[in-house]
Amino acid sequence: MAVAAAVIPDTMVALRKVAAGSGFQCDTVPVPAIGRSDVLIRVRKVGLCGTDQHIYTWDHWAQRRIHPPLIVGHEFMGEVAAVGDAVRSVRVGERVSAEGHLSCGICHLCRTGEAHICEHVRIIGVDTDGAFANFITMPESNVWRLDDAIPDSWAAVFDPLGNAVHTVMAAGVSSRSVAITGVGSIGLMAIPVARAAGAAAVYAIDINPAKLELALRVGADAAFLASDAGVVADVVNRTSGVGVDVLLEMSGSAVAIDAGLAMVRNGGRAALLGIPPDDIAINLAERIIFKGLTVLGINGRKMFETWYQTEALVRSGRIDLAPIITHELPFTSYDEAFTLMRTGAAAKIVLDVSTPERS
Amino acid sequence: MAVAAAVIPDTMVALRKVAAGSGFQCDTVPVPAIGRSDVLIRVRKVGLCGTDQHIYTWDHWAQRRIHPPLIVGHEFMGEVAAVGDAVRSVRVGERVSAEGHLSCGICHLCRTGEAHICEHVRIIGVDTDGAFANFITMPESNVWRLDDAIPDSWAAVFDPLGNAVHTVMAAGVSSRSVAITGVGSIGLMAIPVARAAGAAAVYAIDINPAKLELALRVGADAAFLASDAGVVADVVNRTSGVGVDVLLEMSGSAVAIDAGLAMVRNGGRAALLGIPPDDIAINLAERIIFKGLTVLGINGRKMFETWYQTEALVRSGRIDLAPIITHELPFTSYDEAFTLMRTGAAAKIVLDVSTPERS
Amino acid sequence: MAVAAAVIPDTMVALRKVAAGSGFQCDTVPVPAIGRSDVLIRVRKVGLCGTDQHIYTWDHWAQRRIHPPLIVGHEFMGEVAAVGDAVRSVRVGERVSAEGHLSCGICHLCRTGEAHICEHVRIIGVDTDGAFANFITMPESNVWRLDDAIPDSWAAVFDPLGNAVHTVMAAGVSSRSVAITGVGSIGLMAIPVARAAGAAAVYAIDINPAKLELALRVGADAAFLASDAGVVADVVNRTSGVGVDVLLEMSGSAVAIDAGLAMVRNGGRAALLGIPPDDIAINLAERIIFKGLTVLGINGRKMFETWYQTEALVRSGRIDLAPIITHELPFTSYDEAFTLMRTGAAAKIVLDVSTPERS
Amino acid sequence: MAVAAAVIPDTMVALRKVAAGSGFQCDTVPVPAIGRSDVLIRVRKVGLCGTDQHIYTWDHWAQRRIHPPLIVGHEFMGEVAAVGDAVRSVRVGERVSAEGHLSCGICHLCRTGEAHICEHVRIIGVDTDGAFANFITMPESNVWRLDDAIPDSWAAVFDPLGNAVHTVMAAGVSSRSVAITGVGSIGLMAIPVARAAGAAAVYAIDINPAKLELALRVGADAAFLASDAGVVADVVNRTSGVGVDVLLEMSGSAVAIDAGLAMVRNGGRAALLGIPPDDIAINLAERIIFKGLTVLGINGRKMFETWYQTEALVRSGRIDLAPIITHELPFTSYDEAFTLMRTGAAAKIVLDVSTPERS
């Protein structure tokens, strides 16, 4: 460990899944060691993701994918605590976030600018130890230095914000009308992102009226209840009967995907980020082929084009995440936080990790 | 009628669907009148399409869509017999084919270069009288002058060849590996088209061994039986285990679509031309979203970018349609032709329309 | 003339270049006749363009290009006064503007969605009679129906606003930093357009401090005097030393083009709209090749993609043309208007054409 | 040095520029050491580039750029002789070539898939020791494993072949007509590359009749002497008077650039690879802006998209470099080789480096 800022303790507090079953456990574990090209980050703030909740509740997906014991969490920011000998691009003390997808670096995709869909990707907090801890070690190549203008809480959720940016930028919204199906936390973020990126109009669709209210607060031009029989016609009416230019699908719901594709104009574009839990039935002929749609599968964040875009958009002053980060809680309140998420009372929750370390 | 080449008769022979039920009827009907901006074309050769067969057999789709009496057929070429007063771009005597999609010309899509997906499109031989006749009238804006180098039989099938070109060019095959699922007549055409357009390798997949042999003859690097359990792995093995860069889906089969999407590499592109008759179940997460695929719905031919591309590719000498046009028959043999199509014995059939007129 | 709204007079007032030499003449001339596919428009407001001034002052370019007598002017809006028999898409009484580039409709470019660069284009007010008159006749295909939300004065300058939109959209500004060299009226318009279209930052560069002040008022993040020795470094410093992502060149000045290309980052994009009067010397190796730049020549407005984009952006409420339309004058004050333009005291001037007709 | 194949000698033969002035010197120097992430390559074959000749003759560019002593050369292939501890993707004994642009890996461009235009790039044989030697050390990330199907001599020139592929693929030639101005060795390579990548027609323009003959042999549809007064018209005539879709500029000559841009159709694309030695005068208005051209500066090879494309195209069997590699000589014949280059008698020359080591 070449250079260290302050005394680094031997142990740390970490939120872990230690065995099959519901819930997490707050344990004292060793601070991870770093290799020559690694960066040790003292975590300050973390964001809670739906993925974390899947692991917390130990649902079917989690049972197949997760191998306890595991430190969970992948949305975070902190401060560089130490760097390996070969590290050149960041220094101890700098504020950083990091890309949580660890790509292999040598496959065809990694070598052609598509590391975000590397076939050998491992994800922190899912496949390897994650960020809900006082410290995390990350390869230098995954670390992102934070602009001073970006507050800690926002930086903690650059991962999902990056999902929103990736989806918006892949779809291409400049001067276009945009429908967003599903305004959970990423869908909500996509609203100001789309507006900042040049969308001429943004329409939000969801089953939850409270989320639709929040959607309007963060910049949606109109909001529509997904359960309304006329939701497709209502959105299409907003566009002189033509249909929206762009669909951002962020629900993973079969019903929403069908309605979303129905409201896109011929020749339009649909970017799919929401993950349907099962196979879904699609009328490919009517929804995609005859319409001449372009449908884009979206995964992760482009490394690091999406990060640069995210920084540029946030720095432009046009994105306000404050209404979307509905709760900031101490690290130890994680059970309360997952309850808030489960009940739909929260949009995005940020935990302050610095608390337990100092106590 | 401003200018006419030779004497134009009052009546002509036409293949018609006159009432619900199977089969066509060969009738003597009036030669159509032309408007100021129309072109009267003396039809020489026509191609038979799967759509014609649907109408011939009077299947469920045809029963809903077709309103007899109707002259059928949309693949054709001929010679300009007369032009309306306002016609400037073609002259009597010129050899022509024509785009069979009649777009409205004034909608958003027509005004932005996307007339091929005009919402008010009418298709000749489906929605209005078609080309299986001695004469057809077309708006000047749909007429395509034929290069001298292009034989009549090939010109007669520029419509489906254009579907192949549109699919190939939308997908983008230059330097890429390409899988084609479904090598009926358009899938077969897509093989030399893809190679001429720069594909580095072309793999054909079908359930019909005879079509796969034909696929190899027209330039496929390898051919795979769709029913083989290992077909996906076999194709992927051809690409160093990465998967093909591009899928051209030309079968409309749910099984083929699933297998086709499975064999595309992460970040690859899939162009869908085949029309599934029903909804199909898709694992969007595994097949499209996690892989970061781009999926393109393909409809018709771009007016007239596809036509210019088709002409350029054919003129380059790299496309040989001869093995794909398996049968050329006199116009009156249409019953035999539809039998050949139904049994799968034919790839593309061309009828000579000049025969009955002269007799 | 199929349908007429009100009594259409036989004669009208028109601003004309009647012979070689400086100035225009306000003449009474016949109201133009319309053909079957034409639309007669009662002009309400017109915008003055640099091109008009070239013709007014009768400079070298005008002497070569203009053949008097000619009604001048190409930026305008008005109301449909009458339509030809074949016109389907607009009705008498509707508020309209029109694309002033009359393309041939049958060439390769016109048939592939690139009519804006048709080789046989004729421009109203330059090659054929223009819009500085009570009436103008336009082909139906060039007419653009105006959204109710768009004020007359803004609609009158949709032509140059469309130049700005075309340049911005071709360059692609979403999430990017943008430098604009030359903030005359189109350059000024490009500032709110770029911001509405998603630019993360916009920097204006000009030789005129008053224009730079106006640039800041309409949304530029910073403004730079072109004559400052350090202008390139100053702009690059704003982008963490990387250089701007996008250059919009709107001056036509050799010095500005060189400086503009110098301030673009490697791999960036430069869209050139400004017309240099002569050949200019360029260091292609340093400015374009080694940097891997993409340089786009911009001409006119895409028909009609640019018009739809312009409408969408204006309707989004993010573009305010009020500060840029510095003067609105009666039609008869055209001499005063050209003096204001020449001295640089005005940005965009709009004339009210309805005045002389009523008097 | 973790793993070594055979005994690696302490010294090697290398072609060096040891001081200002003309010529190279063949010296015995130490075999370079490798770091943990480096690969030591036993060089087998090298290609001679115009850049090498600039250094050999010590022209103005070389005097400014080169700091002797320096081992020259950047086009090469060989066999992995040893790898550092951290190397994972290649093994001793494998046949490899390598990207000669050493990018910094941490700048904005390197992190967004544009390492080929990294601002801190160093080039082997120019800024650091190169490949005209028995051994060269390269970072693992620059090494390219060679497909068995690719002969040594072709692999030795993957660097310039990659320039050709990068230019062709950036321009996009699929179904298009292509003019190539300047058929030196890269221009010649671009002919079969463009054809394999889907060009519908390829026209070669050069001042050297012998090169034009070679151009026809490797697949040009027609060849034109640049000095002919009617060369632009002659090429345009080949395209029905429209102009070529694509220009690949590979001469760096001001006259050729002007003629090349003149022969591109409105809306076409021009990719510039040739490096003009000085500023050149361009009529931007006529050649680029009014035509709505897209002009692309091309530098190096995309890492590693271009390499994958090159491999795919070569493996497709459609590219034959044999006629372009006009000379294969022993390493010690380098003076003769540079004379052949200077006189224009050679297209591409490959030297066999294995000779002196064994003697």
Q: What is the mean pLDDT of chain C?
A: 96
Tokens 């309850």, located at residue: A339
Is the bond preceding A69 in cis, omega lying within 30 degrees of 0?
yes
B112 has a chain C CB within 8 A of its CB: yes
**Does this model's pTM top 0.95?**
yes
Does residue B291 register a pLDDT over 60?
Answer: yes
Contacts of C108 in chain B (CB under 8 A): 308
Q: What is the rounded CA–CA span in Å between residue A52 and residue A334?
A: 11
Min Cα–Cα distance to chain D from C109, Å: 8
DSSP state of D7: P
Report which of C154, C230, C181, C344 is spatially closest to residue C191, judged by C-alpha positions.
C181
Does residue B47 register a pLDDT over 50?
Answer: yes
DSSP state of C31: P
Contacts of A177 in chain C (CB under 8 A): 312
| pLDDT of amino acid C105 | 94
Tokens 């290009």, located at residue: C65
B94 has a chain C CB within 8 A of its CB: no
Min Cα–Cα distance to chain C from D259, Å: 14
Which pLDDT tens digit goes with each residue over B170-186? 999 999 999 999 999 99
| pLDDT of amino acid D174 | 98
| pLDDT of amino acid A5 | 55
Does residue C281 register a pLDDT over 50?
Answer: yes
Q: What is the rounded CA–CA span in Å between residue D144 and residue D100?
A: 11
Report which of B351, B357, B355, B356 is spatially closest to residue B153, judged by C-alpha positions.
B351
How big, in percent rounded to 5, are the helix, strand and coil portions of chain C? 30, 30, 40
Cβ B266–A117 below 8 Å, yes or no? Answer: yes
- Asked whether the beta carbons of B56 and B40 are under 8 A apart, the reply is no
| pLDDT of amino acid B23 | 96
A115 has a chain B CB within 8 A of its CB: no
Q: What is the rounded CA–CA span in Å between residue B108 and residue B259?
A: 36
- Asked whether the beta carbons of A293 and A287 are under 8 A apart, the reply is yes
Cβ D200–B316 below 8 Å, yes or no? Answer: yes
Q: Find, in chain C, the residue whose alpha carbon is nearest to that of D289.
A: C297
| pLDDT of amino acid D354 | 86
B204 has a chain D CB within 8 A of its CB: no
One-letter-per-residue 3-state SS of chain B: CCEECCCCCCEEEEEEECCCCCCCEEEEEECCCCCCCEEEEEEEEEECCHHHHHHHHCCHHHHHHCCCCEECCCEEEEEEEEECCCCCCCCCCCEEEECCEECCCCCCCHHHCCHHHCCCCEEECCCECCCCECEEEEEHHHEEECCCCCCHHHHCCHHHHHHHHHHHHHHCCCCCEEEEECCCHHHHHHHHHHHHCCCCEEEEEECCHHHHHHHHHCCCCEEEECCCCCHHHHHHHCCCCCCEEEEEECCCCHHHHHHHHHCEEEEEEEEECCCCCCCEEECHHHHHHCCCCEEEECCCCCCCHHHHHHHHHHHCCCCCCCCCEEEEEEHHHHHHHHHHHHCCCCCEEEEECHHHHHC
Which pLDDT tens digit goes with each residue over D17-37? 999 999 999 999 999 999 999
Does residue C358 register a pLDDT over 50?
Answer: no
State whether the Cα torsion A55-A59-A61-A62 is positive or negative: positive
What's the token pair of residue A59?
A: 């649902």
Does residue D357 register a pLDDT over 90?
Answer: no
Min Cα–Cα distance to chain A from B211, Å: 24
Does residue C6 register a pLDDT over 90?
Answer: no
| pLDDT of amino acid D7 | 85
Q: What is the rounded CA–CA span in Å between residue D36 and residue D85?
A: 5
Inter-helix orientation angle C50-57/C334-342, to 10°: 100
Does residue A103 register a pLDDT over 90?
Answer: yes
Q: What is the rounded CA–CA span in Å between residue B352 and residue A206?
A: 57
First-to-last alpha carbon distance for chain B, in angstroms, is: 26
Q: What is the rounded CA–CA span in Å between residue A316 and residue A147?
A: 12
Min Cα–Cα distance to chain C from A167, Å: 13
Q: What is the rounded CA–CA span in Å between residue A46 and residue A42?
A: 11
D196 has a chain B CB within 8 A of its CB: yes
| pLDDT of amino acid D39 | 98
C176 has a chain A CB within 8 A of its CB: yes
| pLDDT of amino acid A7 | 85
The model's confidence at residue A227, banded by pLDDT at 50, 70 and 90, is very high
Q: What is the rounded CA–CA span in Å between residue B192 and residue B219?
A: 6
Q: What is the mean pLDDT of residues D233-237?
A: 98
In C287-320, which positions are buried (b, 16+ CB within 10 angstroms) versus exposed (e)? bbbbbbbbbbbbbbbbbbbbbbbbbbbbbbebbe
Residue A305 DSSP SS3 = helix
Q: What is the mean pLDDT of residues A226-230?
A: 96
D109 has a chain C CB within 8 A of its CB: yes
Q: What is the mean pLDDT of chain D?
A: 96
Does residue A271 register a pLDDT over 80?
Answer: yes
State whether the Cα torsion D10-D13-D17-D18 is positive or negative: positive
Does residue B281 register a pLDDT over 60?
Answer: yes
Q: What is the rounded CA–CA span in Å between residue A152 and residue A319?
A: 15
Which pLDDT tens digit goes with each residue over D253-312? 999 999 999 999 999 999 999 999 999 999 999 999 999 999 999 999 999 999 999 999
Residues of D that are catalytic: 51, 54
Q: What is the rounded CA–CA span in Å between residue A264 and residue A246?
A: 6
| pLDDT of amino acid C5 | 55
The model's confidence at residue B4, banded by pLDDT at 50, 70 and 90, is low
Residues of C that are catalytic: 51, 54
Q: What is the mean pLDDT of residues B226-236?
A: 97
Contacts of A304 in chain D (CB under 8 A): 111-112
Q: What is the mean pLDDT of residues C258-271?
A: 98
Q: What is the mean pLDDT of residues A251-276?
A: 98
Q: Which of B112, B303, B305 sits opposite C308 (nearest CB)?
A: B112
Residue A174 vs residues A177, A194, A242: alpha-carbon distances, Å: 9, 8, 18
Q: What is the mean pLDDT of residues D43-56?
A: 97
- Asked whether the beta carbons of D15 and D131 are under 8 A apart, the reply is no
Which pLDDT tens digit goes with each residue over D96-143? 999 999 999 999 999 999 999 999 999 999 999 999 999 999 999 999
| pLDDT of amino acid B358 | 43
Cβ A304–D111 below 8 Å, yes or no? Answer: yes
D308 has a chain A CB within 8 A of its CB: yes
| pLDDT of amino acid C1 | 46
One-letter-per-residue 3-state SS of A63-91: HHHCCCCEECCCEEEEEEEEECCCCCCCC
The percent of residues in chain C predicted with pLDDT above 90, rounded, is 96
The model's confidence at residue B313, banded by pLDDT at 50, 70 and 90, is very high
Does residue B359 register a pLDDT over 50?
Answer: no
Min Cα–Cα distance to chain A from B262, Å: 13
Q: What is the rounded CA–CA span in Å between residue B229 and residue B280?
A: 20
The model's confidence at residue C126, banded by pLDDT at 50, 70 and 90, is very high
One-letter-per-residue 3-state SS of D311-352: HHHHHCCCCCCCCCEEEEEEHHHHHHHHHHHHCCCCCEEEEE
B290 has a chain C CB within 8 A of its CB: no
| pLDDT of amino acid C344 | 87
| pLDDT of amino acid D30 | 98
Report which of A334, C119, A315 is spatially closest to residue D264, judged by C-alpha positions.
C119
Which pLDDT tens digit goes with each residue over B56-65? 999 999 999 9
Q: What is the rounded CA–CA span in Å between residue C309 and residue D336?
A: 62
Best of A99, A106, A165 to substitute, by most chain D Cβ atoms within 10 angstroms, is A106
Does residue D52 register a pLDDT over 90?
Answer: yes
Report which of D328, D333, D320 is spatially closest to residue D346, judged by C-alpha positions.
D328
Does residue C3 register a pLDDT over 60?
Answer: no
Cβ B117–A282 below 8 Å, yes or no? Answer: no
Which pLDDT tens digit goes with each residue over A3-17? 555 689 999 999 999
What's the token pair of residue C110?
A: 């016109």
Cβ C201–A177 below 8 Å, yes or no? Answer: no
Q: Which of B88, B106, B308 sits opposite C108 (nearest CB)?
A: B308
| pLDDT of amino acid B121 | 95
For the complex shown, is ipTM > 0.95?
A: yes
